[in-house]
Amino acid sequence: MFRYFWTLVCWYFRPLIKWFLHHTTQMCELQRICYGQPSGAPRAFAVEETLGQSRNANIRTLVAYLNDIADHRGITTKTERKILEDAIRTVLVTKKINPTAHPDFAKTFGKCVELIWGYRQLCVECEELRKTPYSADNSEHEQKLLKLWNLLMPYEPLDARVTKQWQEIGFQGDDPKTDFRGMGILGLENLVYFAQEYPGMATHVLSHSNHPRYGYAFAIVGINLTSMALKLLRDGSAKTHIYNSSKTLPTIRAFHQFYCYLFYEFDGFWIESKPSNMMEFSSIQEKFENSIRIALANPSTVFRINVAVDNI
């Protein structure tokens, strides 16, 4: 109750506080954020909150415009520059910011816009891939699945398209297509990216999955971690990492990288947990997810993959 009351008070007095700070610093709230907050997540979070709470009609229109573009995946290499220029111009005019007197503001604010709406667009793209079911009639899907096998098992050719060999890399049955039902083609693309970009690390994890005591189904666990990564993306928890790690517009590569980090770290977490059997998977995964959420609650967090493993 107190928290609700305090939020209401802050919302009510916010315009007065902003007016006071504006007149004492000669800068609007966005300027104070862009100049005062560290780059990456701290700055992007503050800009995102300020724009979202703005009562100014021009700013509200700008936010709706950017939301619509991101929701339709309209931010591309061809359109991004104009979109950012339009957003910066709107804020400069609305907030009466002199670009000559404040030459760094446009670049700093533009970077925040790129991160905030790039992330939103990334969520849309990942959801579209999740909704795309694996189809054995789709040659592109089939090629990606065979690529996964060849990346993980380069010295063992498949006997057939449908074979028990798939269980060697952690699928449940003779045909992997049934295991992608929940995460669609996104689950497959995550696995392929991991095996392709970090072959040594993927082999390292695959070997752990065949541990005589603590083994697990590599592909099935990988698909479960796709679900976890997507959940963290959807609820905004992953913003901390992606805002801090992205040098340019966040794309599907940012999600794949996030996934690879989770897979490698979960493997170590699982082995260290010394499970009695696979029945403990849910509880161990829940503990792992909680540890990731705690880390992401720190605005300075950025997950870095230990590429040294690739040389093992």
Question: Domain boundaries in the chain?
Answer: 2-130, 135-311
pLDDT at 99: 84
Residues 6 or more apart from 146 whose CB is under 8 A from it? 158
Calculate what percentage of the chain has a pLDDT beyond 90: 80
Range in 1-5, 70-74, 295-299 with the lowest mean pLDDT = 1-5
Rounded Cα distance, 260 and 88, in Å: 34
Across the range 193-221, mean pLDDT stands at 94
- pLDDT per position as a tens digit, 222-248: 999 999 999 999 999 999 999 999 999
CA 306 to chain CA mean position, Å: 18
User: Whole-prediction pTM value?
Assistant: 0.90
How many Cβ atoms are within 10 Å of 227's Cβ, its own excluded?
15
Residue 19 — very low, low, confident or very high, per pLDDT cuts 50/70/90?
A: very low
